[in-house]
């Protein structure tokens, strides 16, 4: 199983790329069949399963193709950070988990979404279509979180899963290291949060996502898969009311309703949000795998300072 994940990680798959299509043809179509109009692949195991498991098949690679990888002490990373800007474990590892869960017969609705990295376009389109299986779905569980200990309860500061659910998820998997985490950013499960009670995101063992320093802990991925296959899903507690709004922005700064149109209309509005909530934005970017240097790289203006022979501070552009 470990070697299959490595094989899947070799594909650099920005949305709409040829490599993305080749990946889907090789790994998804044989299991799921053809995608829907939005590019999502969906299938079910069992009759009217209560749980939905999700991942996404696009990555944040800047170019498409096949990348070389290095494996050392159970950790995989890109071989050449100059030609590959990220590993793509976000969200390849989630797909790998789901394919193995399907093969093992774990009951659930399985969805591999398109265009998550471009604003969750695949999942938002699917939710808009309101597929019949949402009528009996109690929880949407994304495998798209960094680290090895998070069960996300909040995304973008808004509650999407209850604390009771988070605790019961760890119990169902018999993985006590999993803890409730209100620092989630945004992934496909968030798109379901207004109609499905529990919408979460689970750590799958990658680190420094969206950067050339991204790594995947292969041993943790295998451990998580083992516990997902052996989980006692009857222990899951469903308690959140999706019609009730609750946020945790008060812990970070001024509370706000991000669904209010005045916050999502123009670039100047975004600048205002950043100006008024710098700590919250910094926490969000950090949760996405960014650090100061990476942000500068994304802005194409990395600034490195050095002292010249006369003791003056100089700036070098890289």
pLDDT at 291: 72
Count CB neighbours of 140 within 10 A: 30
Quote the tokens at residue 251. Answer: 């812990």
- Residues 23, 67 within the same domain: yes
C-alpha span between 203 and 123 (Å, rounded): 20
Q: Which of 235, 261, 296 is the last residue of a domain?
A: 235
pLDDT band at 288 (very low <50, low <70, confident <90, very high): low
pLDDT of 255 higher than 50: no
pLDDT at 301: 43
pLDDT of 111 higher than 70: yes
Quote the tokens at residue 21. Answer: 């299509």
- Residues 189, 282 within the same domain: no
- Residues 224, 257 within the same domain: no
Answer yes or no: is 84 within a domain: yes
pLDDT of 58 higher than 80: yes
Q: Please give the residue range of the domain that contains residue 141.
A: 2-235
Q: What DSSP designation does 95 have?
A: H
- Residues 163, 278 within the same domain: no
Question: Is-contact 166 201, C-beta < 8 A?
Answer: no
**Is residue 181 exposed (0-12), middle (13-18) or buried (19+ Cβ within 10 Å)?**
buried
- Residues 271, 215 within the same domain: no
- What are the tens digits of pLDDT across the range 3-49? 799 999 999 999 999 999 999 999 999 999 999 999 999 999 999 99
CB neighbour burial string for 39-58, b if at least 16 within 10 angstroms, e if fewer: bbbbeebeeebbbbbbbbbb
Backbone angles phi, psi at 247, to 5 degrees: -130, 170
- What are the tens digits of pLDDT across the range 124-168? 999 999 999 999 999 999 999 999 999 999 998 899 999 999 999
Answer yes or no: is 20 within a domain: yes
pTM (two decimals): 0.81
Answer yes or no: is 241 within a domain: no
Question: Is-contact 40 123, C-beta < 8 A?
Answer: yes
Q: Which of 211, 235, 259 is the last residue of a domain?
A: 235
Question: What CATH number is given to the structural domain containing 172?
Answer: 3.40.630.10
Q: Which of 189, 206, 235 is the last residue of a domain?
A: 235
- Residues 144, 290 within the same domain: no
- Residues 195, 52 within the same domain: yes
- Residues 13, 86 within the same domain: yes
Answer yes or no: is 243 within a domain: no
- Residues 114, 53 within the same domain: yes
């Amino acid at each position: 199983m470990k070697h299959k994940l490595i094989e899947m990680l070799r594909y650099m798959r920005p949305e709409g790329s040829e490599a993305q299509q080749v990946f889907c043809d090789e790994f998804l179509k044989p299991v799921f069949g053809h995608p829907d109009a939005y590019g999502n692949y969906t299938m079910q195991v069992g009759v009217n399963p209560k749980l939905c498991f999700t991942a996404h098949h696009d990555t944040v690679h800047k170019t498409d193709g096949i990348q070389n990888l290095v494996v050392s002490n159970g950790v995989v990373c890109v071989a050449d950070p100059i030609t590959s800007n990220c590993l793509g474990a976000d969200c390849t590892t989630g797909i790998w988990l789901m394919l193995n869960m399907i093969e093992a017969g774990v009951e659930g609705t399985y969805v591999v979404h398109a265009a998550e990295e471009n604003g969750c376009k695949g999942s938002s389109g699917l939710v808009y279509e309101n597929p019949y299986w949402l009528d009996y779905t109690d929880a949407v569980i994304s495998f798209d979180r960094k680290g090895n200990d998070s069960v996300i309860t909040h995304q973008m500061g808004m509650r999407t899963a209850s604390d009771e659910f988070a605790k019961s998820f760890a119990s169902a998997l018999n993985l006590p290291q999993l803890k409730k985490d209100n620092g989630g950013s945004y992934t496909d499960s968030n798109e379901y949060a207004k109609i499905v009670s529990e919408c979460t995101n689970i750590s799958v063992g990658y680190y420094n996502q969206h950067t050339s320093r991204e790594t995947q802990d292969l041993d943790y991925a295998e451990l998580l898969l083992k516990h997902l296959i052996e989980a006692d899903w009857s222990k899951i507690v469903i308690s959140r009311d999706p019609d009730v709004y609750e946020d945790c922005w008060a812990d970070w700064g001024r509370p706000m309703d991000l669904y209010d149109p005045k916050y999502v209309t123009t670039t100047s509005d975004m600048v205002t949000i950043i100006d008024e909530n710098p700590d919250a934005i910094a926490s969000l970017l950090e949760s996405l795998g960014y650090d100061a240097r990476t942000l500068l790289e994304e802005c194409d203006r990395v600034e490195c300072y050095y002292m010249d022979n006369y003791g003056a501070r100089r700036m070098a552009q890289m």
